[in-house]
């Protein structure tokens, strides 16, 4: 974990395996990221990422979205927990929920996401198959600030790879994760924690690199 008094307080939101979470845990442990993960929150109780958090002695919580009447109620509960943790940065790491505008605006400039495409290409789901179907020669992942419009926030970092002739959606997803995401996301978190990137506070939003 980071020892610097100015280390950023990071909260990671997950829904599944938590591979990107693990990469960020490792980055904090090595000192590559000047931050401490002060909480991991999942919306699914069987998310394997919760085990990763426990193995690293990181506090974790489950807030099941199905326990709430609507998205607004769920997001309000999620926001309250994050605020209690006094998060400097919220990292969406495979968090499979569309967040309400109120939630996004509350954390505007403090929340980042990684999306498995070369945004602005292919926002939303099934990005790997869509890239193959379009006959693209390259594909990749984008770390971006979260803004109210889905997958539309300004890019922080982007990584590319070549699409092979025999790639399927599954093989492409695996390659993007292993060859790009697991390196790109910790790098972006480190930039934020070092104060080297920030988001303008009014639309049209821009990522400023310092």
Q: Which are the catalytic amino acids?
A: 115
Place of tokens 């968090």: 95
Question: Between β-strands 111-115 and 138-145, what pairing exists: parallel, antiparallel or unpaired?
Answer: antiparallel
- Identify the DSSP state of 65: G
Structure tokens at 162: 């070549």
Query: What are the C-alpha distances in Å from 155 to residues 12, 81, 107, 188, 210?
Result: 19, 27, 17, 10, 14
- Calculated CA dihedral for residues 144, 26, 37, 209, nearest 10 degrees: -30
Interatomic CA distance for residues 62 and 51, integer angstroms: 12
How far is C-alpha 33 from the chain's CA centre? 15
H helical segments located in the chain: 19-30, 49-55, 71-84, 101-106, 127-133, 169-176, 182-193
């Amino acid at each position: 974990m980071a020892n610097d008094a100015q280390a950023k307080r990071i909260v990671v939101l997950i829904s599944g395996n938590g591979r990107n979470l693990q990469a960020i845990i490792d980055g904090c442990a090595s000192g590559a990221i000047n931050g401490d993960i002060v909480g991991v929150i999942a919306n699914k109780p069987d998310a394997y990422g919760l085990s990763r958090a426990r193995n690293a002695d990181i506090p974790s919580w489950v807030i099941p979205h199905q326990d709430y009447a609507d998205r607004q109620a769920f997001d309000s509960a999620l926001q309250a927990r994050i605020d209690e943790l006094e998060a400097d940065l919220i990292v969406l790491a495979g968090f499979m929920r569309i967040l309400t505008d109120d939630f996004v605006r509350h954390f505007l400039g403090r929340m980042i996401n990684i999306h498995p495409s070369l945004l602005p290409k292919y926002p939303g789901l099934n990005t790997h198959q869509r890239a193959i179907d379009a006959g693209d020669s390259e594909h990749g992942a984008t770390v971006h600030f979260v803004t109210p419009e889905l997958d539309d926030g300004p890019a922080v970092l982007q990584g590319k790879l070549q699409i092979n002739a025999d790639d399927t959606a599954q093989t492409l997803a695996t390659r993007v994760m292993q060859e790009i995401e697991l390196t790109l996301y910790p790098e972006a978190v480190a930039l934020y924690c070092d104060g080297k990137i920030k988001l303008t506070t009014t639309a049209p939003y821009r990522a400023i690199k310092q």
